[in-house]
Structure 1
Amino acid sequence: MFVERIALDEPVDALVRLKNAVDRAKRSSSVQFPIVFVRREEEEPLLSQLMRGGRGGEVRLRLYLTLRMQATRHPYVLRQKTARGLAAMLNLPADTGPRQINAALKWLESKRLIRREFEPGKIPHITLLRPDGTGEEWGARFERRYVTLPIELWANGWILKLNGRSLAVYLALRELTGGTGQNGEVMAGHRKTQYGMSNDTWTRATKELEDLGLLTMSSEVYGDDDLRMRVRKRYRLKALADIGSPSW
Structure 2
Amino acid sequence: MQYPAQEWALLLGYGSKPAGVRRVQEALRWLNNEAFVEIRRKPGAPSAVHLLSDSGNGRPYQPPGIAFKRLKNKGSSRAERDEHLYVQLPAGLWTNGWIMELSGAAIVMYLVLLHEQRGDEKKQIWLSPRIGRELYDLSDETRRKGLHELAKEGLIQVSRRALHQGMFADAVRTRYVYELSPGTLGRLRAGSIFSQPDPFAALS
Give the structure-2-normalised TM-score.
0.60
1:172 maps onto 2:121 in alignment: no
Partners of 1:121 and 1:163 in 2: CA distance: 44
Matched residue, 2:78: none
Partners of 1:99 and 1:131 in 2: CA distance: 23
Partner SS, residue 235 of structure 1: strand
| CA shift for structure 1 position 230 | 3.4
Please point out which of 135, 139, 148 is paired with 1:194. Answer: 135
Please point out which of 165, 180, 203 is paired with 2:144. Answer: 203
1:184–1:236 contact (8 Å) kept in structure 2: yes
Please point out which of 149, 157, 169 is paired with 1:216. Answer: 157
Structure 1 counterpart of 2:178, which letter? Answer: Y
Select the structure with the greater relative contact order (CA < 8 A; seq sep ≥ 6).
Answer: 1
Q: 1:218 to 1:106 in 2, by over 3 A?
A: farther
Structure 2 counterpart of 1:148, which letter? Answer: V
1:152 maps onto 2:91 in alignment: yes
Please point out which of 114, 121, 124 is paired with 1:181. Answer: 121
1:107 maps onto 2:107 in alignment: no
1:186–1:235 contact (8 Å) kept in structure 2: yes
| CA shift for structure 1 position 174 | 0.6
| CA shift for structure 1 position 122 | 5.8
Partners of 2:106 and 2:188 in 1: CA distance: 16
Matched residue, 2:71: none
Partners of 1:94 and 1:184 in 2: CA distance: 49
Partners of 1:111 and 1:100 in 2: CA distance: 17
Q: 1:183 to 1:162 in 2, by over 3 A?
A: same
Partners of 1:184 and 1:200 in 2: CA distance: 22
Give the structure-1-normalised TM-score.
0.51
Partners of 2:99 and 2:2 in 1: CA distance: 20
Unpaired segments ≥5 residues, structure 2: 69-80, 194-204
Partners of 1:102 and 1:240 in 2: CA distance: 39
Partner SS, residue 83 of structure 1: helix
Partner SS, residue 88 of structure 2: strand
Instruction: Name which one, 1 or 2, has greater alpha-carbon Rg.
Output: 2
Unpaired segments ≥5 residues, structure 1: 1-76
Identity %: 22
Structure 2 counterpart of 1:181, which letter? Answer: E
Partner SS, residue 147 of structure 1: coil
